[in-house]
Structure 1
Amino acid sequence: MPERVQKIAGAVAELTKEKLGSVSRVAAATKMLALNAKIEAARAGEAGRGFGVVAQEVSSVASTVQDLSAQLDAELAPLVAELEQLGEQLVWHVRGTRLSDLALHVIDLIDRNLYERSCDVRWWATDSAVVEACAEPTPETTAYASERLATILGSYTVYLDLWIADRHGRVIASGRPEAYPGVLGADVSGEPWFRDAIATSDGTEFAVVDVATNQRLRGATVATYSTAVRKAGREDGEVIGALGIFFDFAPQAHGIVTSMDLTPEDAARTRVMLVDHRLTVIAASDGAGLLTERIDLRRDGGRERGVFQRPGGAMVGYALTLGYETYAGLGWYGVIEQRPPASA
């Protein structure tokens, strides 16, 4: 619809210019004919005097028409230009609003997904097998905890692995020891997910670190959520260990940024992205720039949602996370960048 309005405005401008030009040319031709008639009347002498008067009137009418044409052109020109501008502004507004809406949809999808991860880690940290392994880390309790983690992974396929660390930061159980043999016994005491988990004030809290690659998980890109394991699984219990869960971020996020409802033509010129609080690309529909590219959002006045145009004509819509339920979000943005159509 907005593109049609813009086309109609352009057509009106072109038609107005064409018709005013036609009127002006007719007036000029009429004046020329009147001039020729006056010349011929003069040659005819007394017999052509009456015809000369008619020729003079025709010339006067032609001049009046030409003047009116010029005035009409002068008065219509700014109105037609304003109509064209309004058409362009309407197209900008509608396209920009759609891109911003899509960006909000993208970030909402990932927030809903990550909300579940925050629930998972707090729930599983109270599992009796997890609690017992941290309270009494014997070969039997840790082996059973690993079995329990493996069972969870069998149902929750979005995770690469789940780790239990004792209070000193040594991994005592994992869900996939055969797939990731370097995990059991690893010292993770210096890793942010462990430190932040131990620092939580009670069982309602969780920790999350920036999306990053994890070398113990074969360099996979993960979103890591963690929380403290507490004595007897109580919310206010003493911290006796930590649970870390490693969300297989790359394929899950790629599925979201490539799921937008776009026509094939629009999809070919559109890049859908997720960027973190540092404005680093963490997911992109074209797979480019992951964890290396930073996006300039031009958030005028710190706006949480907006649209702007880059040099070259690409339009960018963005939206800040709103969070979901009890999940406040991580300061991420959904970003949609769309190049102008080839015919534009």
Structure 2
Amino acid sequence: MTRASSCVDRADSPESSRGGAPSMEQDASLRPERILDLSERLSSVAGAKIGEIARVNRAAKMLAINALIVAARAGEAGKGFAIVAEEFKKISTEIDVVAGALESQVRADLDELSAIGGAILGHMRGQRLADLALNAIEIVDRNLYERTCDVRWWATDSAVVACLGDADGGARGYASERLGVILDAYTVYLDLWICDARGRVVANGRPDRYAGVVGQSVADARWFQDGLRTQTGDDFVACDIETNRLLGGAPVATYATAIREGGQAKGRVLGVLGVHFDWRPQAQAVVDGVRLTSEERERSRVMLLDQKGRVLAASDHRGVLSEIFPLDTSAGPMGSYADGDVTVGYALTPGYETYGGLGWYGCLVQRREVQALAVSAA
């Protein structure tokens, strides 16, 4: 039996490849923030140099005026010198005009460059965050698709099917042992439950850990009701994350399908198999595994959200299953937007194979760099 992959095992994105040219995160000279840094530096240098020209020209004007005064005192002997001083004064005036025009034009161009650089930077940052959000939700989709395969496969296991036709309990004990073997290999599950058609749990894979499960009724649980109504063995039920009292209050993603007579795809429904995916550690591995630099990670929050914006997982561990994040999805299924000093990038679940997803989102919220804010303020 092959050991099931965990969410973190599936983090196989192009960004994780080694070698090749340095990425923006690895080489500071390639970071988009350099656009604004360079425009600010150019603006500062240009302003300083134009100021120096004006200062030197003022000194030259004073020399020209002093020369005219001296020439006037010299009388006839100073007339030639006075002509030179007057011309020099005119040139200084022209330099003032040119310097003023230069400052005006350069300042306008630099302001435009800064605006364009800021727009490009915002777009690039937002696009990158959206790409990272998509990668995160795709990892979740691929992993949860495997769960849908598991539940449909295990529901056809002969021990699982025989368990529901057992009157003396021997087959149920064997089915429980069989589920335990599966759980030893597939470590991403908390427990597997076999339920009869009335919704009573008749066997579970970890009776030592969850001793009170067998005999409990799950008839009111949506996963059981929907699983009982699946049309064929190819169908499955995928539920949103919820805490399960019988599993110690742990958050689980439950997948279910009908157990059918003879394990046949269209056999008579005997009961339901429910598999409870251990959500917290797997989801945390996904949000913690998003490729951010250490500096970015300090000012970023990575989240998985359900279709209503409920936080399913967060890199800062805050608000899980209680906070509703006000995600603006007006840009479409994937996009980004600025909200004050933060940029938000998001991506809707694309689904994977036969798993269409539940309308969940990957989402990254990132504050602006402190250094960038300081440069802008200056």
Question: The TM-score by the shorter chain falls in which range?
Answer: over 0.9
Quick one: structure 1 residues 137 and 332, their matched pair in 2 at CA, closer, same or farther if it must change by over 3 Å?
farther
Q: TM-score scaled by structure 2?
A: 0.87
For 1:138 and 1:217, how far apart are their aligned partners in 2? 27
Q: What is the match of residue 121 of structure 1? A: 151
Q: TM-score scaled by structure 1?
A: 0.95
The count of aligned residue pairs is 342
Which runs of 4 or more aligned residues in structure 1 lie more than 6 Å from their structure 2 counterparts after TM superposition?
Answer: none
Q: Which amino acid aligns with 1:231?
A: E
Q: What is the match of residue 335 of structure 1? A: 363
Give the 3-state SS of the residue equivalent to 2:218 in structure 1: coil
The alignment's C-alpha RMSD in Å is: 1.4
Farther-moved stretch of structure 1 (102-111 vs 263-272): 263-272
For 1:19 and 1:82, how far apart are their aligned partners in 2? 20
Q: What is the match of residue 16 of structure 2? A: none
Q: What is the match of residue 299 of structure 1? A: 329
For 1:210 and 1:137, how far apart are their aligned partners in 2? 34
For 2:307 and 2:187, how far apart are their aligned partners in 1? 27
The superposition leaves residues 165-204 of structure 1 with CA deviations (integer Å, 9 ceiling, x where unpaired) of 1111111111112211221111111111100101111111
For 2:278 and 2:176, how far apart are their aligned partners in 1? 19
Q: What is the match of residue 325 of structure 1? A: 353
Q: Any residues of structure 2 matched to 1:211-222 within 5 Å, and which?
A: 211-222=241-252
The question of whether the paired residues in 2 share the 8 Å contact of 1:254 and 1:285 is answered with: yes
For 1:149 and 1:131, how far apart are their aligned partners in 2? 12
Q: Does 1:186 align with 2:232?
A: no
For 1:80 and 1:155, how far apart are their aligned partners in 2? 62
For 2:223 and 2:265, how far apart are their aligned partners in 1? 19
Residue number among 266, 278, 287 corresponding to 1:257 in the alignment: 287
Q: What is the match of residue 74 of structure 2? A: 44
Tell which has more relative contact order, 1 or 2 (C-alpha 8 A, sep 6+).
2
Q: Does 1:238 align with 2:238?
A: no
For 1:29 and 1:342, how far apart are their aligned partners in 2? 41
Q: Which amino acid aligns with 2:72?
A: A
The superposition leaves residues 80-135 of structure 1 with CA deviations (integer Å, 9 ceiling, x where unpaired) of 11112222223222222221111111111111111100000011111111112223
Q: What is the match of residue 235 of structure 2? A: 205
For 1:170 and 1:137, how far apart are their aligned partners in 2? 14
The question of whether the paired residues in 2 share the 8 Å contact of 1:166 and 1:172 is answered with: yes
Q: Any residues of structure 2 matched to 1:24-103 within 5 Å, and which?
A: 24-103=54-133
Q: Does 1:130 align with 2:160?
A: yes
Q: Cα distance, 1:309 vs. partner?
A: 2.1
Q: Cα distance, 1:32 vs. partner?
A: 2.0
Q: Which amino acid aligns with 1:323?
A: G
Q: Which amino acid aligns with 2:253?
A: A
Q: Cα distance, 1:276 vs. partner?
A: 0.9
The superposition leaves residues 228-259 of structure 1 with CA deviations (integer Å, 9 ceiling, x where unpaired) of 11121111122110000000110111111111
Q: What is the match of residue 161 of structure 1? A: 191
Quick one: structure 1 residues 164 and 265, their matched pair in 2 at CA, closer, same or farther if it must change by over 3 Å?
same
Give the 3-state SS of the residue equivalent to 2:203 in structure 1: strand
Give the 3-state SS of the residue equivalent to 2:192 in structure 1: strand
For 1:12 and 1:137, how far apart are their aligned partners in 2? 85
Q: Which amino acid aligns with 1:19?
A: K
For 1:50 and 1:342, how far apart are their aligned partners in 2? 61
Q: Cα distance, 1:45 vs. partner?
A: 2.0
Give the 3-state SS of the residue equivalent to 1:343 in structure 2: helix
Give the 3-state SS of the residue equivalent to 1:300 in structure 2: coil
Identity of aligned residues (%): 47
For 1:325 and 1:191, how far apart are their aligned partners in 2? 26
Farther-moved stretch of structure 1 (170-179 vs 41-50): 41-50
Gapped runs of 5+ residues in structure 2? 1-29, 373-378
Q: Cα distance, 1:7 vs. partner?
A: 1.7
